[in-house]
Amino acid sequence: MNAAIRPLLDRLNDKVSRHLGASRRQLFERLDKPVLKPLPVAPYVYAEWKKCRAGLDYHIAIDRHYYSVPYQLLKKELWARITARTVEVFHIGRRVASHVRTSGNGQHSTQRDHMPAHHRFREDWTPQRLQAWAARVGPNVAIFAEVVMRDRKHCEQGYRTCLGVIRLADRFGRDRLAAACRRALEINARSYSSVQSILKNGRESKPRNRATEEPAITHTNIRGAEYFH
């Protein structure tokens, strides 16, 4: 069918219009062709833009995955250009970071040159300080914070989770948060969303199956009931 249409198409394009005094082909050659530009070397890539801000761990969150930016930009307003394959981060129009896009939920993509010396972005924020802050809520919260930071490749990657969990005490109360952290440790949960889910669903005091109950948590910060008698 296309072979049959082709001669008719040429005839149509070469037919002179009485109204315009020229054929479609002549008009194209005269008006359109001189201003045409070559196609881009690279194909068009669809991208989305998202305004974001780096947290205390100098990472931004994109689809529940965390990407590092230079630590000097923590708390600064940034723009992320997100494609199917890359995440680029811009500050005041200048690209400051580029990552391969990753789908790991709750995971981190960290570039070493984004990190400050000794992996510390401020002297007054340390793992010890975060644990001390968590201990004010309860021993189980302190243990949870310690485990979260220990499980990360760099302890700073756990700061966001620890700070978020500690702040849950303002919403749910210290006692419930302490119980939720213990529950999270028992079920090997290590994320902010897990602790929040336990609290939202009232599962922090749910009794465990005695047949599968694990030994009690032992830690230097936890003292037995006999200590208080």
Question: What is the rounded distance in angstroms from the CA atom of residue 115 to the CA atom of residue 96?
Answer: 13
Question: What is the rounded distance in angstroms from the CA atom of residue 64 to the CA atom of residue 227?
Answer: 42
Of 118, 147, 168, which marks where a domain is finished? 118
How many structural domains compose the chain? 2
At residue 226, the pLDDT reads 43
Regions of the chain short of the pLDDT cut 70: 117-125, 207-229
Residues 76 and 156 in one domain: no
Question: What is the rounded distance in angstroms from the CA atom of residue 12 to the CA atom of residue 25?
Answer: 9
At residue 208, the pLDDT reads 58
Of 60, 86, 118, which marks where a domain is finished? 118
Domain extent, residue 72, equals 48-118
At residue 117, the pLDDT reads 66
Contact call for residues 81 and 49 (beta carbons, < 8 A): yes
Residues 63 and 114 in one domain: yes
At residue 225, the pLDDT reads 40
HSE-up (13 A, CA, CB side) for residue 83: 10
At residue 212, the pLDDT reads 42
Q: Considering the entire predicted model, what is its pTM?
A: 0.48
Of 61, 84, 118, which marks where a domain is finished? 118
Q: Which residues touch 183 (CB under 8 Å, ≥6 apart)?
A: 189, 198, 203, 204, 206
At residue 228, the pLDDT reads 32
Residues 145 and 166 in one domain: yes
At residue 118, the pLDDT reads 54
At residue 128, the pLDDT reads 85
